[in-house]
Chain A
């Protein structure tokens, strides 16, 4: 299957700083990527849809000015958590769809563990 990577796999930052997380599709191109957030013992929550060459689409309740998404190329999307606070500590996961036959199938990255101190 297709491979999606994330970098870094974990990061610790101080409150008030910004953190950038990268999501790459390694062996296919993706004009769309998805960003999820997962708190401990909870399910994945879709945050936003990243669109190559245009603005991201955010889910209801997700602050677009706090979670900046840039889809710079057909293989790279970045999520920047700005002015991070301890409550932003979470597991961030990206996914990218690959075209297979008549539809797309979703491939997930390994996730990035963010801890804000």
Chain B
């Protein structure tokens, strides 16, 4: 699976959009971009994933550049409860894949009042 690079930490004001970048310059054509987050002392929580089109769900939006070498996770209106470590993971998504995830260091997002 391709390696990802994320900034170690970011701050965001409550109510504003949080934009979390991720670089994955060695991504292959069949690799998806996944985002998970981990709130302190809890298990990781799935947020969103995408291949090449932008995706949106009730939690966030995922913007993937046209060359797929980077992506941005957007939390449109950050709240204090969004304070967490956010992990960007790239992996192949195939039938035989049981979904093993390898975590990088992630970005610690601190939402401030």
Contact = CB atoms under 8 A, between A and B. Distances in A.
Contact of B100 (A4, A34, A110): A34
Interface in B53-93: 85, 87, 93
A102 B32 CA distance: 14
B41 A95 contact: no
Given A103-B93, A103-B94, A46 B100 contact: yes
A26 B93 CA distance: 24
A60 to B, nearest CB: 12
B51 to A, nearest CB: 12
Interface in B29-57: 38, 41-46
A11 to B, nearest CB: 14
Interface string A35-74: 0100000011110010000000000000000000000000
Contact of B43 (A45, A93, A97): A93
Interface residues of B, number: 22
Nearest to A34: B100
A110 B46 contact: no
Interface of A: 1, 4, 6, 32, 34, 36, 43-46, 49, 91, 93, 95, 97, 102-111, 113
B21 to A, nearest CB: 18
B43 A1 contact: no
B102 interface: yes
Nearest to B42: A110
B98 A32 contact: yes
A38 to B, nearest CB: 9
Nearest to B102: A46
B98 A95 contact: no
Contact of B44 (A32, A49, A108): A108
Contacts of A113: 41
12 contacts: A1-B46, A43-B104, A44-B38, A44-B103, A95-B43, A102-B95, A105-B46, A108-B43, A109-B43, A110-B42, A111-B41, A113-B41
